């Protein structure tokens, strides 16, 4: 967890542009910390899994949940995660085909949450907003399998990802009511990624979508599993501008 704290604290407190936050370094640090936690808690998880396997749970009928308003509280980190997860999940689902299968992208040994859009909040401070909020989902439809990711970081500046990155096909900036948008299309090996970042005075929100259903990890080449990313660049832009993604 110290790796995440040191990386995020620099972004949150030092006023430097949060360049590369959609890249692999900081997410890899988060995944490494969670992998360590999962290994140390393996025995406890086995006991819980056994207990759940022996139990029969009857859930109430959940009709109308999809149209119920998202939570509005942000006074605790848990409440903030609840609200942002709801907003992100509804925004992504709205852009996908009705028959698309959505599953959580997880590291080995990690138990996926019941809600595939449940955000992970890796702490970088004591305030609810002082964290790296992120998650990724695998999307499978008639055209194959791809992914959608989100990364949200509090920041006191308006920096965004740089242009002229390796493998860049398209990169442009444009103003938005909330701040400034960075839109880019990148190729790494056979994989194509559409990425959009919205930089506001107090946060950077990034969404990206690619054409592989394999979890992004540093130094790992992803297999192409569909003709194009799960979402178009314009759809990813729409996600970045989703109302309610404020801290």
Question: Which tokens in the block code for residue 132?
Answer: 């790296």
Query: From residue 83, how far is each of 71, 88, 113 by CA, in Å?
Result: 5, 9, 16
Question: Which tokens in the block code for residue 33?
Answer: 């910390």
Spatial distance between the Cα atoms of 247 and 243, rounded to a whole number of angstroms: 12
Question: Which tokens in the block code for residue 75?
Answer: 């006074």
Burial track 41-63 (b if 16+ CB lie within 10 A, e otherwise): eeeeeeeeeeeeeeeeeeeeeee
Q: Is-contact 183 208, C-beta < 8 A?
A: no
Question: Which tokens in the block code for residue 165?
Answer: 């990155």
Q: Is-contact 88 119, C-beta < 8 A?
A: yes
Note the pLDDT of residue 68: 86
**Residue 99 main-chain phi, psi, to 5 deg:** -95, 10
Q: Which residue in this structure is represented by tokens 């119920």?
A: 68
Radius of gyration for the chain, computed over Cα atoms and rounded to the nearest angstrom: 18
For the chain, the helix, strand and coil percentages under 3-state DSSP, each to the nearest 5: 30, 25, 45
pLDDT tens digits in sequence order for the chain, 247 residues long: 444 444 444 444 444 444 444 344 455 555 555 554 443 333 333 333 323 233 333 333 333 445 789 999 999 999 999 999 999 999 999 999 999 999 999 988 889 999 999 999 999 999 999 999 999 999 999 999 999 999 999 886 656 677 888 899 999 999 999 999 999 999 999 999 999 999 998 899 999 999 999 999 888 899 999 999 999 999 999 999 999 998 8
How far is CA 211 from its chain centroid?
A: 16
pTM: 0.78
Note the pLDDT of residue 160: 64
DSSP 103: E
Q: Is-contact 172 183, C-beta < 8 A?
A: yes
Note the pLDDT of residue 34: 53
């Amino acid at each position: 967890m110290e790796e995440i704290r040191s990386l995020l604290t620099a972004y949150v407190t030092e006023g430097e542009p949060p360049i590369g936050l959609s890249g692999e370094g900081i997410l890899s640090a988060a995944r490494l910390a969670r992998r360590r936690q999962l290994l140390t808690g393996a025995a406890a998880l086995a006991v819980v899994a056994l207990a759940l396997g022996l139990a029969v749970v009857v859930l109430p009928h959940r009709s109308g949940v999809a149209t119920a308003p998202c939570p509005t509280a942000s006074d605790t980190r848990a409440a903030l995660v609840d609200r942002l997860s709801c907003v992100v999940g509804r925004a992504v689902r709205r852009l996908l085909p009705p028959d698309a299968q959505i599953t959580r992208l997880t590291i080995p040994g990690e138990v996926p949450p019941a809600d595939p859009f449940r955000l992970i909040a890796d702490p970088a401070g004591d305030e609810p907003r002082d964290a790296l909020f992120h998650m990724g989902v695998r999307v499978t439809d008639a055209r194959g399998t791809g992914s959608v990711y989100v990364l949200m970081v509090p920041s006191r500046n308006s920096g965004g990802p740089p242009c002229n990155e390796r493998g860049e096909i398209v990169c442009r900036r444009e103003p938005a009511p909330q701040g400034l948008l960075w839109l880019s299309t990148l190729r790494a090996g056979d994989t194509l990624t559409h990425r959009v970042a919205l930089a506001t005075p107090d946060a950077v929100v990034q969404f990206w979508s690619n054409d592989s259903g394999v979890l992004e990890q540093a130094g790992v080449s992803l297999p192409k599993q569909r003709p194009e990313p799960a979402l178009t660049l314009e759809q990813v832009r729409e996600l970045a501008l989703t109302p309610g993604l404020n801290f």
